[in-house]
Structure 1
Amino acid sequence: MDVEITAGAVDDVAGLEPLWLAMLDHHREVTDERWPVRGPGESWALCSEQYRTWLGEGSALLFLAHRAAPAGTRELIGYLLCQLLPSGPTFDLGPSHGEVHSLVVSDRARGGGTGSTLLQACKRELRARGVTHWSIGVVEANRDAIRLYERLGFAPWIRHMLAPLDE
């Protein structure tokens, strides 16, 4: 599949909604009822506000994946949003590190290399900016994503654990 990766901006955020909602459905599929997933309207409102804020202040990078579609158009088949965060006091990750907040590939394009291509584009840009480390969070039950990230050199680092507070 011929995929074109371009840099995105605040004006591109609205077009990401269908992909975000598909990822939300995927999260519902791979997790169990202990981990409630927000409704689509609420989730997208929160997500798009975060994206616009981060991109507007220059603390995030957005990469868009398109492929040729009929009649000479382009179809958005994936995106990656990476935050640039200051490194904390414990680990020497340089002045800042990249944190991949979202990596989304459409169901039709999944498994065709789009996710890897988006990650490679992000990695090149982070290196060009002098960033030496990056991280990505993944739902523990999302085994396919974990295998992809491990193939690209990610390894477990900090484990976040979650529990509901019993009444």
Structure 2
Amino acid sequence: MTVRIQRAHVRDLTRVKPLWKLLLQRYQEYTAGDWPVRDPQEAWQLRHQEYLSWINDGDGVVYLAADEADPDAGLLGYAAMRFVESGAVMNLGDAIGLIETLVVHPDHRGQGIGNQLLNQCRRELERREISYCCIETLSTNEEAMGLITKNGFRPYMTRLIRRIDTDD
């Protein structure tokens, strides 16, 4: 299979909804009930609005991975990245790329699609002369951690979380 990576237009965003819902299912599995995951429809409404805003405002991009032989079939995967200020502490340049979503359909994992999507994000950052890129994943998602570190990402910050209304 030959994979085609293309930049999404606003009209393409509904095509990523099934993959978004699969991602939420994975979050539920990886959190094992320790952390509340939003209802898939509510989560999609929020994320869809973010994607629309990022694309319309030029603050981000979404890349779609499809089978070259059947581009109208379901997507193989997608990546969504936005461009944000790097912050006051670290000298990472004016902006960094923040990969908000990276998902590959379970039937197509291990075929290099995630690598291709990450490479497309890297090329976009190079084109924009942005030197740094960040990505987050659940600490229990070893599969994603393997893909991410294989693509040159290293630990940078550690986000710790706790529920406030408990004594744990």
TM tier, shorter chain? over 0.9
The alpha-carbon deviation at position 66 of structure 1 amounts to: 0.3
Q: Structure 1: which 4+ aligned runs deviate by more than 3 Å?
A: 72-75
The one-letter code matched in structure 2 to 1:2 is T
Distance 2:79 2:38 in 1: 20
Distance 1:63 1:97 in 2: 17
Distance 1:89 1:64 in 2: 33
CA contact (8 A) 1:63 1:81 kept: yes
Distance 1:103 1:10 in 2: 18
- Percentage of pairs with the same residue: 33
The alpha-carbon deviation at position 73 of structure 1 amounts to: 4.5
Cα displacement string for residues 92-140 of structure 1 (whole angstroms, at most 9, x for unaligned residues): 1111110000001111111111000000011011111100000000100
Cα displacement string for residues 15-66 of structure 1 (whole angstroms, at most 9, x for unaligned residues): 1100100111111111121111111111111110111111111100111100
SS of match in other structure, 1:111: coil
Distance 1:37 1:75 in 2: 25
Aligned to 2:95: 96
Aligned to 1:13: 13
Distance 1:82 1:55 in 2: 10
SS of match in other structure, 1:108: helix
Residues 111 and 97 of structure 1: CA distance in aligned 2, closer, same or farther (over 3 Å): same
Say which is worse superposed, 25-34 or 122-131, in terms of deviation: 25-34
Distance 2:125 2:72 in 1: 30
The one-letter code matched in structure 1 to 2:66 is H
Is 1:153 aligned to 2:142, yes or no? Answer: no
Is 1:24 aligned to 2:24, yes or no? Answer: yes
Matches within 5 A, 1:128-143: 128-143=127-142
CA contact (8 A) 2:2 2:69 kept: no
CA contact (8 A) 1:69 1:75 kept: no
Q: Which runs of 5 or more residues in structure 1 are unaligned? A: none
Superposition TM-score, scaled by structure 2 size: 0.94
The one-letter code matched in structure 1 to 2:93 is G
Distance 2:41 2:109 in 1: 24
The alpha-carbon deviation at position 74 of structure 1 amounts to: 4.2
The one-letter code matched in structure 1 to 2:158 is R
Matches within 5 A, 1:1-167: 1-68=1-68, 73-166=72-165
SS of match in other structure, 2:108: coil
